[in-house]
Chain A
Amino acid sequence: MSDAPLSLFLRRHTIGMIGLAILVCAVGSALLAPWIAPYSPTKIDLMARLVPPFWVEGGSFKHLLGTDNLGRDVLSRVIYGAQVSLSVGAGAVVLGAIIGSTVGLLAGYFGGLVDAALSFLINVQLSFPFTLLAIFLLATFGGGFVPVVVVVALATWVNYARVVRGQVMSVKNQEYVAAALSVGVPTRGILRRYILPNTMSSIIVVASFSMAQAILTEAALSFLGVGIGGATPSWGTMLNDGRNYLQNAWWMTAMPGLATALTVLAGNLCGDWLQDRANPRLRK
């Protein structure tokens, strides 16, 4: 029995599979960190400060990606950093999706004043410089996991709202919705069984792009010093720490930067792939 169908699948969906593979690695690192990280991310070893990665002169296999200014193993910190970045990303995506989709659903389905009010809200948010707001909020209320997740969710909910609103407006006019209305299905039933399931594919596409945006935003906030804080590093704090050592210890910034870039890329690739998957079926 040939494995033709599988290889055909992989060939056709290469882009998406690459993205998915990277994401799996990232999630895997986050979940298996205690077992795969060679060192504790906070273990300070002042005897091994600023050791370069193993392929550079002066490096060793003891610290594959080198160490930072406090002798902490960069590889371990990147692996553990995945935990923070991905959990903030996931939390923000879920929260943002819930807020944004609800707003989009209500605006799209009810139209009229509700739509006018909610669209106004969306436009206000869009025209406001988010970074400023984020810094202000976090500086006022302090850092920490929950505030950061909330702030990042606030950055991304608008994407969902706009897409869902448009999608709902088109679904609303489909004949199966008219059929459900003529059957006598009440409004909450229409929203729950007819509108929402048919906008799910758009929500998932936005979610994968948002995931990437969330991780980047968290990195930026940590870089600016208003991030999670605490002992466990995030890729953003690592970028921040490495700022002053760009000249002599480029790996302190490059490694978390690479991890961030790859994960964001993976998110976008998956998003693209899902988007392509969603459309041809509709066209059929």
Chain B
Amino acid sequence: MSTHPVIKAEGLTVEFGGRRSIFRREPTAVVQALSGVSVSVDRGETVAVVGESGCGKSTLGRALLRSAPITGGKVLFQGQDITALEGEALRAMRRHFQMIFQDPYASLNPKMTIFETLAEPLRVHTNEDSKAIRERVLEMLEAAGLDRNFAERYPHEFSGGQRQRVAIARAAILRPDFIVADEPLSALDVSLQLQILKLFASLKQQFALTYLFISHDLARVFGFADRIVVMYLGKIVETGSAREVYHAPAHPYTRALIAAAPSPTSTAETPALKGEIPSPLNPPKGCRFHTRCPLAMDVCSQVEPRMTALGGQHSAACHLVTPA
């Protein structure tokens, strides 16, 4: 029984661009999508990664699945370093971690039936015969809340919510050790969002799944995730259990996110954040949030704050917080 976390990132850095071409004299601009990010997910946990555009949450999800180029740092799967894994070895490894994408209208092959789409992971990674595969596909369809008769139909015959169920079923069918869900609810209507969230919860129970749930909707994930990770411009600014972060948000950005989320009953005036989100091409020096922070001090523009433990699972990267 492994005591390692299912997936762990250590000082992960992902950069895009910067390729030199024989036709250009200067290299193209480098975007640091992730900068020295360390995070781990234990078996059975649901960890939510939240943040706004450019924070790097999607890149983190993809990097953990080795679907994004890693420039620095390490990714460890159950203690094993998979950072440099390539080719056939990496491909075979993929049965252990799967991804669910945001757009249900784009993530299913329009030329494959639902059955073929769900059978694909089984055909690629197992040696099961067609009868066994058929059994598992139909079982998965039912678990995902879809009628067994839908198997022979094509994606365009289904609504967004149903397609997303198929995408989730595809990710879960191999009972992977780890699933990254990249904004799986964002393209759905409000009432469907809750239905699909319930599906996530029921599948987790049924198949003992572990999730990394990426979302921009903070309110949704508080009730659903065990732990929250808040990101800003390629860095983690706060992390803790859902209740810790909700009841005592330590980082000014987390507080701003919570205050900005629409709420029918709160009457508090939302504190304004100055300016706009800086371009990831040129992140601010020191604490990346200091240009917009209402509480910024001199040190914030010079020294990058380190993650400070605040007790329990809670920690934040801010010069203003005092350690527990």
Chain A residues with CB under 8 Å of chain B are 174-176, 178-186, 189, 193-194, 197-198, 200
Cα-based distance from A166 to B167 in the complex (angstroms)? 27
Cα-based distance from A189 to B94 in the complex (angstroms)? 15
Given A183-B170, A184-B94, residue A194 in contact with residue B109 (CB < 8 A): yes
Secondary structure at the A interface, as helix, strand, loop or mixed, is helix
Q: Contact between B109 and A184 (Cβ–Cβ < 8 Å)?
A: no
Chain B residues with CB under 8 Å of chain A are 65, 67, 91-95, 98-99, 101, 103, 106-112, 116, 120-121, 124-125, 167, 170
Q: Contact between A183 and B106 (Cβ–Cβ < 8 Å)?
A: no
Cα-based distance from A174 to B110 in the complex (angstroms)? 11
Instruction: Report B-chain residues with C-beta under 8 Å of the C-beta of A175.
Output: 101, 103, 106-107
Instruction: Report A-chain residues with C-beta under 8 Å of the C-beta of B98.
Output: 182-183
Q: Contact between B107 and A179 (Cβ–Cβ < 8 Å)?
A: yes
Residue of chain B at shortest CB distance from A194: B109
Contact of B99 (CB < 8 Å), options: A179, A185, A189, A193: A179
Q: Contact between A176 and B124 (Cβ–Cβ < 8 Å)?
A: no
Instruction: Report B-chain residues with C-beta under 8 Å of the C-beta of A198.
Output: 109-111
Instruction: Report B-chain residues with C-beta under 8 Å of the C-beta of A189.
Output: 124
Give, as a whole number of angstroms, the nearest-CB distance from B159 to chain A: 14
Contact of B111 (CB < 8 Å), options: A178, A184, A186, A197: A197
Instruction: Report A-chain residues with C-beta under 8 Å of the C-beta of B111.
Output: 193-194, 197-198, 200
Q: Contact between A174 and B65 (Cβ–Cβ < 8 Å)?
A: no
Q: Contact between A178 and B67 (Cβ–Cβ < 8 Å)?
A: yes
Cα-based distance from A194 to B170 in the complex (angstroms)? 16
Cα-based distance from A182 to B109 in the complex (angstroms)? 14
Q: What are 5 A-B contacts with C-beta separation under 8 Å?
A: A178-B67, A179-B99, A179-B170, A184-B124, A186-B124
Cα-based distance from A202 to B125 in the complex (angstroms)? 32
Q: Contact between B107 and A183 (Cβ–Cβ < 8 Å)?
A: no
Q: Contact between A184 and B65 (Cβ–Cβ < 8 Å)?
A: no
Residue of chain B at shortest CB distance from A281: B156
Cα-based distance from A275 to B229 in the complex (angstroms)? 48
Q: Contact between B94 and A176 (Cβ–Cβ < 8 Å)?
A: no
- Total A-B contacts with CB atoms under 8 angstroms apart: 60
Instruction: Report B-chain residues with C-beta under 8 Å of the C-beta of A185.
Output: 120, 124
Contact of A180 (CB < 8 Å), options: B109, B110, B125: B109
Contact of A176 (CB < 8 Å), options: B65, B91, B95, B110: B110
Q: Contact between A183 and B67 (Cβ–Cβ < 8 Å)?
A: no
Q: Contact between B67 and A176 (Cβ–Cβ < 8 Å)?
A: no
Cα-based distance from A189 to B92 in the complex (angstroms)? 14
Cα-based distance from A198 to B154 in the complex (angstroms)? 14
Instruction: Report B-chain residues with C-beta under 8 Å of the C-beta of A179.
Output: 99, 101, 107-108, 167, 170
Residue among A176, A180, A198 with max Cβ neighbours from chain B (10 Å): A176
Give, as a whole number of angstroms, the nearest-CB distance from B8 to chain A: 19
Q: Contact between A184 and B95 (Cβ–Cβ < 8 Å)?
A: yes
Give, as a whole number of angstroms, the nearest-CB distance from B101 to chain A: 6
Residue among A182, A193, A198 with max Cβ neighbours from chain B (10 Å): A182
Q: Contact between A180 and B67 (Cβ–Cβ < 8 Å)?
A: no
Cα-based distance from A181 to B95 in the complex (angstroms)? 11
Residue of chain B at shortest CB distance from A177: B109
Instruction: Report B-chain residues with C-beta under 8 Å of the C-beta of A184.
Output: 91-95, 121, 124-125
Q: Contact between A182 and B99 (Cβ–Cβ < 8 Å)?
A: yes
Cα-based distance from A201 to B92 in the complex (angstroms)? 32
Instruction: Report A-chain residues with C-beta under 8 Å of the C-beta of B125.
Output: 184
Instruction: Report A-chain residues with C-beta under 8 Å of the C-beta of B107.
Output: 175-176, 178-179
Contact of A193 (CB < 8 Å), options: B91, B92, B101, B109: B109
Given contacts A180-B109, A186-B124, A193-B120, 19 further A-B contacts (CB under 8 A): A175-B103, A175-B106, A176-B110, A178-B107, A180-B120, A182-B99, A183-B124, A184-B91, A184-B92, A184-B93, A184-B94, A184-B121, A189-B124, A193-B111, A194-B109, A197-B109, A197-B111, A198-B109, A200-B111
Give, as a whole number of angstroms, the nearest-CB distance from A174 to chain B: 6
Give, as a whole number of angstroms, the nearest-CB distance from B251 to chain A: 31
Residue of chain A at shortest CB distance from B125: A184
Instruction: Report B-chain residues with C-beta under 8 Å of the C-beta of A181.
Output: 67
Give, as a whole number of angstroms, the nearest-CB distance from A105 to chain B: 15
Q: Contact between B109 and A183 (Cβ–Cβ < 8 Å)?
A: no
Give, as a whole number of angstroms, the nearest-CB distance from A100 to chain B: 20
Given A182-B67, A182-B98, A184-B125, residue A176 in contact with residue B109 (CB < 8 A): yes
Instruction: Report B-chain residues with C-beta under 8 Å of the C-beta of A193.
Output: 109, 111-112, 116, 120
Residue of chain B at shortest CB distance from A197: B111
Q: Contact between B110 and A183 (Cβ–Cβ < 8 Å)?
A: no
Cα-based distance from A179 to B100 in the complex (angstroms)? 8
Cα-based distance from A185 to B91 in the complex (angstroms)? 8
Instruction: Report A-chain residues with C-beta under 8 Å of the C-beta of B91.
Output: 184, 186
Instruction: Report A-chain residues with C-beta under 8 Å of the C-beta of B121.
Output: 183-184
Cα-based distance from A174 to B108 in the complex (angstroms)? 10
Give, as a whole number of angstroms, the nearest-CB distance from B59 to chain A: 14
Residue of chain A at shortest CB distance from B111: A197
Residue among A178, A180, A197 with max Cβ neighbours from chain B (10 Å): A180
Q: Contact between B65 and A182 (Cβ–Cβ < 8 Å)?
A: yes
Contact of B108 (CB < 8 Å), options: A176, A182, A186, A197: A176
Contact of B106 (CB < 8 Å), options: A174, A180, A197, A200: A174
Cα-based distance from A231 to B103 in the complex (angstroms)? 61
Cα-based distance from A182 to B170 in the complex (angstroms)? 11
Instruction: Report A-chain residues with C-beta under 8 Å of the C-beta of B65.
Output: 182
